[in-house]
Chains A and B, each alone.
Chain A
Amino acid sequence: MADRGAAEFHPSHDLELVARAAAGDLAGGEVMGARALVASCATCAELERDLHAIAGATRGLGNAAAVSASRPAPRDFRLSAADADRLRPRGWLRVWRVLAEPRRARGFGGALATLGLVGLLVSTGIAAPFDGADGAASEMTGATKDVVSAAPGVGPASTDDAAALPANPTSSTTIGAREYSNSNVAAAPMLAIASGAMLILGSALLLVSWRSRRVGS
């Protein structure tokens, strides 16, 4: 039986614990703690009873299905032709809606995200080796210059002569590699941008698919 004398300690009691006990949402040691509290404090015991009564009364308010059977909505919510026209998706939004349909979104999203990821990897793969080749070529060109300037009778001032020297195999390879790498390095950012866009679009579609699955809509 609740002890009236314990009521003076009531302000320090955990009322949410009592609310959880009233709702049957306690587990383990909390049940014992709540029982002890309700048994020792008359105010907590009364609170528990009141919370039971309030929950019961709230359930008795009648759910929407019951209430709506006798209480019509205050206005008519039917859509006019103008509403429908305004709400129908157009242009890119229409394309997005078609793509974002849950069943399609998963497939399209997965494919686009994968393609985007592969494209990004390829684009960084293209740029990286040729960055290295370019650097190596620069080093080699520097080394050639050193050799040329160190050669007796060949002055560093005669650049035209140096250019007119018999084709140096190292130099031609360097120039060829640089031209090739330049064209690929120029293509890499475009591929990276396109791949990034595909990755973002694919991820967005996957997110839409995941969200609609979660909401169950």
Chain B
Amino acid sequence: MLDSRRLSIAVRRTPQIVEDRRSTVVSDDPVQRRDLILLEQARGGDLHAFNDLVVCYQDLLFALVVRMVPDRDQASDAVQEAFFSAFRNMAAFRGGSVRSWLSRIAINAAMDAQRLKKRRPADPYPELEDDSWQPPSNEADNPVAISLQAERHRALNGALAQITDDQRSAIVLFDVEGYDYAEIAGMTGVSLGTVKSRIHRGRLALRDRLSDRMDLFRG
């Protein structure tokens, strides 16, 4: 069984390079090589190979999508749709990183879910219970610091759930996931200026929502 958690996944801050290569090209990266082999087998009709890819990336894609669609049920549906879409469009994979390809499909699925919610406006997104995750910290032994950080994350996630979908997506993709402006413009189908504007207005909106809790974030 292939398990992505055993393999180190680099946190990307640099612009992604979309390589125009066939998936059969041998990659130096073992994760990439594994993914390309699985995808090639899946394209040949092996469902188990595709499902191995699903197991490798479902946690990652859910974590990505749930930030953009802060409702766990809707986020789950979007991730399922993303895997359906990936299965349908395996033939369209042009080589490069399978992980980036799946992430882009998941981001599109998340935006589709946002559009669907816009058409059928219901309750606002619930606040995410996000305090179960803590980043590695030097202050790990300091319970006060841990508690403060958890409180900060809770407040920030609550505020993120209240701003517009477009602003939240732009902020999540830029600040949290580390994509650059041009990549976000390509993924969301808007101009560079619109991406920047969404991020700036989104941060202003976050500050507005957090106005009575800014002491958590200052100094």
- Residues of chain A at the chain B interface (Cβ within 8 Å): 15-16, 19-20, 22-23, 25, 47, 49-51, 53-55, 57-79, 81, 83-84, 87, 89, 97-98, 100-103, 212-217
Please pick, from B18, B88, B149, B200, the residue contacting A16 in the complex, using a CB distance under 8 A.
B200
Contact partner of B171 (CB less than 8 A), chosen from A22, A58, A64, is A58
B217 neighbours in A (Cβ, 8 Å): 50, 53-54, 57
CB distance from A142 to the nearest CB of B (A): 62
Instruction: Give 12 new A-B contacts, CB below 8 A, not counting A23-B203, A47-B207.
Output: A19-B204, A49-B218, A51-B204, A53-B214, A58-B160, A60-B135, A60-B153, A61-B153, A73-B59, A73-B79, A74-B72, A78-B51
Interface on B for A, CB 8 Å cutoff?
5, 9, 11, 18, 47, 50-51, 54-55, 58-64, 67, 72, 76, 79-80, 83-84, 87-89, 91-94, 96, 100-101, 103-105, 130, 132-133, 135, 149, 152-153, 156-157, 160, 171, 175-178, 186-187, 196-197, 199-201, 203-204, 206-207, 210, 214, 217-218
List B contacts of A217 (CB < 8 A). 89, 92-94, 101, 104-105
Q: Is the beta-carbon distance between A55 and B175 smaller than 8 angstroms?
A: yes
A51-B204, A54-B210, A79-B47 known; A73-B92 Cβ under 8 A? no
| Chain A min CB distance to B123 (Å) | 19
Main secondary structure of the interface of B (DSSP, over half): helix
Most buried by B among A62, A76, A78, A216: A216
A53, A73, A100, A213: which has the most chain B beta carbons within 10 Å?
Answer: A73
User: Distance in Å from the Cβ of A59 to the closest Cβ of chain B?
Assistant: 5
What residue of chain B has the Cβ atom nearest to residue A75's Cβ?
B76
